[in-house]
């Protein structure tokens, strides 16, 4: 049975949550962005409930289904981490599974470093251990494009003209369709997510777009802290991701109890463009952890 609940958080704001299915494995999802929505996670409904995996949609503050206050001071990593804890308490989740994708993976790492006593296991999907690592890789990806394309992009960026339709078309054609989601046209749930993204949250924390990171979390770096993560952890990445698969493999070496799954045909949204591999890794990990099998 699906159940929707508005959870009150600090400041009197409310965030939208929904439970999908019923089962012994309880998985709280953290969407990307920042400022995206749960909508692109709709594909989880096709793969998880039939395996006894009860999962929770959750739109973070500022996102489409939740309150959208006009207060830039709210858009911090630390405040979002405490928001996750408020959602956990509201649903009474203990010994639960936390799943974060992209920015949600970054948030999941932050939550685990402070609150891992509540976690049975962790899934970090399509997220490196630092923003500088991510930036290095996306610059490398762009450097593979023809020089005239790169020069044209750089000219728009130097002029601060990132909303120019030509610039947006260049992003879509040469980067997004290859490294964000390789299905074309994009699935409706992905289109809706991008249409509903909260510009105030995204622009404040990330910057103008996926390939230009100028926001407040640009210095985030947890490489040195990965060894403190003691919960079993699954790390997922697409071979054609905006995150470097080599970084995710290195994360697996540093996190004591971890497993790495590489989706060979997938991109940043490998939950859509390489579903057989992605959900094969995810379901097997969750079932193994529920059964007490080793990582």
Catalytic choice (102, 125, 133, 277): 102
∠ at Cα 58 (118, 266), nearest 5°?
95
∠ at Cα 172 (166, 175), nearest 5°?
120
Catalytic choice (67, 130, 133, 241): 241
Q: Confirm if 67 and 39 have CB atoms less than 8 A apart.
A: no
**C-beta atoms surrounding 45 within 10 Å:** 14
Catalytic annotation present for 198:
no
Catalytic choice (31, 174, 268, 281): 268
Find tokens 């070496």 and name the residue. 253
Catalytic annotation present for 253:
no
DSSP for 66-110 reads S---S-GGG--HHHHHHHHHHHHHHHT--SEEEEEETHHHHHHHH
DSSP helix/strand/coil, 185: coil
Catalytic annotation present for 268:
yes
Angle between helices 103-115 and 77-91 (to 10 degrees): 70
Element holding 143 (H helix, E strand): helix 131-143
| N- to C-terminal Cα separation, the chain | 31
DSSP for 21-35 reads S--SEEEEEE--TTT
Locate all alpha helices (DSSP H) within 159-295, ordered by sequence: 165-171, 188-195, 199-205, 245-254, 270-273, 275-290
Catalytic sites, residue numbers: 102, 241, 268
């Amino acid at each position: 049975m699906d159940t929707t609940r508005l959870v009150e958080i600090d400041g009197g704001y409310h965030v939208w949550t929904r439970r999908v299915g019923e089962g012994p494995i309880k998985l709280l999802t953290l969407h990307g962005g920042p400022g995206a929505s749960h909508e692109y996670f709709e594909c989880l409904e096709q793969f998880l409930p039939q395996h006894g995996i009860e999962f929770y949609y959750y739109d973070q503050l500022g996102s489409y289904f939740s309150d959208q206050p006009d207060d830039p001071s709210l858009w911090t990593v630390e405040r979002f981490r405490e928001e996750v804890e408020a959602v956990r308490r509201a649903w009474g989740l203990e010994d639960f599974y936390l799943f974060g994708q992209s920015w949600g993976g970054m948030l999941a790492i932050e939550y685990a470093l402070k609150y891992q006593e509540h976690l049975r296991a962790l899934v970090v999907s399509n997220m490196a251990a630092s923003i500088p690592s991510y930036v290095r890789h996306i610059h490398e990806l762009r450097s593979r494009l023809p020089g005239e394309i790169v020069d044209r992009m750089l000219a728009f960026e130097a002029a601060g003209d990132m909303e120019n339709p030509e610039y947006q078309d260049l992003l879509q054609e040469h980067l997004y369709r290859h490294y964000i989601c390789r299905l074309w046209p994009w699935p409706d749930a992905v289109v809706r997510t991008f249409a509903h993204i909260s510009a105030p949250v995204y622009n404040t924390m990330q910057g103008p777009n996926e390939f230009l990171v100028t926001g407040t979390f640009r210095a985030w770096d947890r490489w040195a802290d990965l060894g403190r993560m003691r919960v079993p952890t699954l790390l997922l990445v697409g071979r054609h991701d905006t995150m470097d698969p080599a970084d995710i493999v290195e994360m697996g070496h540093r996190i004591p109890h971890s497993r790495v799954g590489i989706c060979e045909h997938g991109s940043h949204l490998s939950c859509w463009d390489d579903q057989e591999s992605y959900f094969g890794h995810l379901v097997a990990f969750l079932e193994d952890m529920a059964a007490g099998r080793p990582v």
